[in-house]
Structure 1
Amino acid sequence: KTGKYLAFIYAIFLILGAIGAGNTFQVSQSLGIMQHEISFFNDYPYVFGIILAFITGLVIIGGIKRIANVAERIVPFMVVFYLIMVFWVLFVNFSLIDDAFILIFKEAFTPTAVAGGMFGAMAQGFQRAVFSNEAGLGSAAIAHAPARVKYPIRQGLVSLYEPFVDTIIVCTMTALVVIITGVYTGGTPELDAIISAKQGANLTSAAFGSVVSWFPHILGFAIFMFAFSTMISWSYYGERAWVYIFGIKSSIVFKLIFLAFIVIATIVNTGLMVDFSSILFLALAIPNIFGIVIMSGDVKGYLKDYMSKLKSGELDNEAIR
């Protein structure tokens, strides 16, 4: 019974999280960067929402196979493309990299920070890390569940690499770019407005633009594609939760709601979307963590069995067969 209650609560929060963090937040960030590149969207932001909703609808209505096919083509290409730009900025400012790391640790452990601000910074860091890699939310399990493997532990081990690549590599490099270029301090009306509006994508764009003037144009496309791939993935997560509660026949209802909120997100305050999504992620993590604790014994048993077979060479023999 406990498992059923947790599953129901988790499904409710997952539906809301898919619409919030997995949809409206992504739209607001990509809209901000596109408005900077295409002035037309400043006056007619809802047009951007309609276009994005149409493109997203073409993919998500096709189901998990189409979602997987699109995502596996977009994500690797965009990550490599993005890292090339990051490496160039860091290469040009190579002498400042150590100063950036020193600043990060210095600001985290100053007397003022230790007195209270450190915990606020840690809380903010945890929030942004969860936004980045979704660790602890249980969403990765939904993505890996359709995989047909003999040992589910393998999927769990694969999923461990995702937060590392996403947060430790990609996000750390992005942070270095923002710090090294100094855009995070503001200093101009445009930067101050970006910071106050919590438009992280635009701040990153400004950082790249301060080194190479045409980088923001390419970055705008990259951010749009990142947001798009995130949205189609979260649409699947939300749909699975919807089907669990309401049944498979009504799945199209969730998809239509999901697409409608893409347009709605273009006229809602960005800061509100960030705060709303943070709350939903926290709510989503609570039942998932309870579930992890309850199922930890089973997971430990599966892992122990898998590792014993791996050490004995039994898995190698199975591969040969």
Structure 2
Amino acid sequence: MLIFKLIPTVALAIELETAYNFINSIDQIFSSCVKVIFSILFFSIGGFPLIVLWLIIGAIFFTIKMKFINIRAFKHAIDILRGEYDDPEDEGEVTHFQALATALSGTVGLGSIAGVAIAISIGGPGAAFWMTIAGFFGMTTKFVECTLAQKYRIVKPDGTISGGPMRYLSAGLAEMGYGILGRVLAVLFSVFCVLAAFGGANMFQANQSYGAISSVLPGLPSWLYGLVLVVLVGLVILGGIQRIGAVAGTLVPVMCLIYFLVALFILLNNITEIPRAIATIISGAFAPEAVEGGFIGVIIQGFQRSAFSNEAGVGSAAIAHSAAKSDEPIREGLVALLEPSIDTILVCNMTALVIVISQVYNAEEFAALRSANKGAELTAAAFGSVVTWFPTLLAIAVFCFAFSTMISWSYYGERCWDYLSGGKGLIIYKILFLIATFIGSVSNPSSVINFSDATLMSMAFPNILGGYFLCGQVAKDLQNYMDRLRKGEMIAFGVGD
């Protein structure tokens, strides 16, 4: 009788061991593939990974070419966002605000929370300074790519919009007589974007959000969290951009406000420490100590994590902004330049100040989290050092940020899949996206971060190259737009009209 009673227990143990071995096998296979991909895409020139150098040069070039439009049109961009120039008759699927919210939901997320902690733990506090510099110049890169996305978007017979780098690279360069180059760059971008949708926008979010949730719900199995996330994401992404825009338009402002208020509360409670923290960040930017790679290493971390946070130059946000209701491409580009200022210059810096003030980036008790690249948990620890229940609130915010990023990026990848396949097999893409969600939940954080960096930042190669060819058109259109604005020729419909 005892033997028969033990049979179910033994069977359960075998099933659990089989499941564990299966999950472990997924992690090992994924980690091996990531090492190969990362080594190819992140080779260095003079100590700088080529992709980081590519982003720096592109952002500075576009800012000079557009005569610092990120400064001189900042107020006008806010007026546009407020709806002063919204024409209800304009073609598009979402409003300026919903487009910005959708794009921000893909950027103001774990890149601004976990990414900052990872950058500081690897590159020291000075990495936050270079993230800010990258965000400032990245505002113009966003302007250029999102203007082009509006200019070359396609309105399909059913009213849906297809736009983004894959469209302006192919159509824009074809107009200049570089049709073959344009098609090659468009295909490369689309392939990279689909992979990035699976990686940085999906696996990283699932992985880091699980770390934050498990810190307040110890014992939560990663596979169970992954399954729940798969169901929730699946319910939204099957509804298309309008449902995604509606969810993001509600979720992102609320989460941004909560996170902002929490961070502000911590900073106000440590207001006397802020000058010291700022001094530590600035000194660390130019005289880093104990940082791998020294001065170059801290710059690399700053720009690399900034690109992951605000995605300027990557071209992803251009896909969301192409769907906005507007007949003025420049206008949507101006709305887009607000993103890095919100995401990197504001949110990332508040996170950085909390991390530096709390000392979690160098305290011995958090060494295990730093070595494992558990950025979300490091930020939670920083917030929790002030008030014990903050990690619970932050865990909720992290989950919502991760969720909003995943649903927005599912749309980006879907548009690129649509371009590559001619609209066929979209359900296959969505199934693969949900599988990637589960894999990210159960995989090693370091492998997920490397895969995320490689897939996300590789999109910048074709996108910025195309931007060099097409930025002359953007500069002319910008001059025309600003001339008409100064002459009072722009129709203002009024906020809320």
* Structure-1-length-normalised TM-score: 0.95
Match runs of 1:122-271 below 5 Å: 122-188=299-365, 191-271=366-446
- Cα distance, 1:113 vs structure 2: 8.2
Match of 1:78 in 2: 255
Distance 1:113 1:300, change over 3 A: farther
Partner-residue secondary structure (3-state), 2:387: coil
Q: State the 4+ residue runs in structure 1 displaced beyond 4 angstroms.
A: 111-116
Greater helix fraction, Structure 1 or Structure 2 = 1
Q: Which moved more, 1:301-310 or 1:108-117?
A: 108-117
> Gaps spanning 5+ residues in structure 2: where?
1-179
Instruction: Work out the CA distance in 2 between the residues paired with 1:116 and 1:178.
Output: 22
Distance 1:150 1:202, change over 3 A: same
> Among the aligned pairs, what percent are the same residue?
46
Partner-residue secondary structure (3-state), 1:184: coil
User: What's the CA shift string for 1:229-276, capped at 9, x where partnerless?
Assistant: 000000000000001001223111111100011111122100111111
Q: Is contact 2:288–2:298 with CA below 8 Å preserved after alignment? A: no
Q: Is contact 1:107–1:113 with CA below 8 Å preserved after alignment? A: no
Instruction: Work out the CA distance in 2 between the residues paired with 1:111 and 1:140.
Output: 33
Match of 2:192 among 13, 27, 30: 13
| Structure 2 counterpart of 1:137, one-letter code | V
Distance 1:51 1:109, change over 3 A: same
- Cα distance, 1:313 vs structure 2: 1.2
Instruction: Work out the CA distance in 1 between the residues paired with 2:286 and 2:466.
Output: 35
Q: Is contact 1:108–1:114 with CA below 8 Å preserved after alignment? A: no
Match of 1:97 among 260, 274, 287: 274
| Structure 2 counterpart of 1:230, one-letter code | T
Distance 1:286 1:88, change over 3 A: same
Match of 1:273 in 2: 448
Partner-residue secondary structure (3-state), 1:149: coil
Larger CA Rg, structure 1 vs 2:
2
Q: Report whether the alignment pairs 1:23 with 2:198.
A: no
> Gaps spanning 5+ residues in structure 1: where?
none
Q: Is contact 2:207–2:445 with CA below 8 Å preserved after alignment? A: yes
Partner-residue secondary structure (3-state), 1:211: coil
Q: Which moved more, 1:218-227 or 1:267-276?
A: 267-276
Q: Is contact 2:226–2:442 with CA below 8 Å preserved after alignment? A: no
Instruction: Work out the CA distance in 2 between the residues paired with 1:176 and 1:187.
Output: 19
Match of 1:34 in 2: 213
Partner-residue secondary structure (3-state), 1:183: coil
Partner-residue secondary structure (3-state), 2:253: helix
- Cα distance, 1:114 vs structure 2: 11
Q: Report whether the alignment pairs 1:307 with 2:486.
A: no
- Cα distance, 1:3 vs structure 2: 1.1
Q: Is contact 2:199–2:456 with CA below 8 Å preserved after alignment? A: no
Instruction: Work out the CA distance in 2 between the residues paired with 1:302 and 1:117.
Output: 42
Instruction: Work out the CA distance in 2 between the residues paired with 1:49 and 1:214.
Output: 25
- Cα distance, 1:192 vs structure 2: 1.4
Q: Is contact 1:194–1:203 with CA below 8 Å preserved after alignment? A: yes
Distance 1:210 1:27, change over 3 A: same
Partner-residue secondary structure (3-state), 2:490: helix
Instruction: Work out the CA distance in 2 between the residues paired with 1:237 and 1:33.
Output: 26
Instruction: Work out the CA distance in 2 between the residues paired with 1:157 and 1:192.
Output: 42
Distance 1:186 1:47, change over 3 A: same
Count of equivalent residues: 315
- Cα distance, 1:165 vs structure 2: 0.6
Q: Is contact 2:194–2:417 with CA below 8 Å preserved after alignment? A: yes
Instruction: Work out the CA distance in 2 between the residues paired with 1:148 and 1:103.
Output: 44
Q: Which moved more, 1:103-112 or 1:147-156?
A: 103-112
Distance 1:111 1:22, change over 3 A: closer
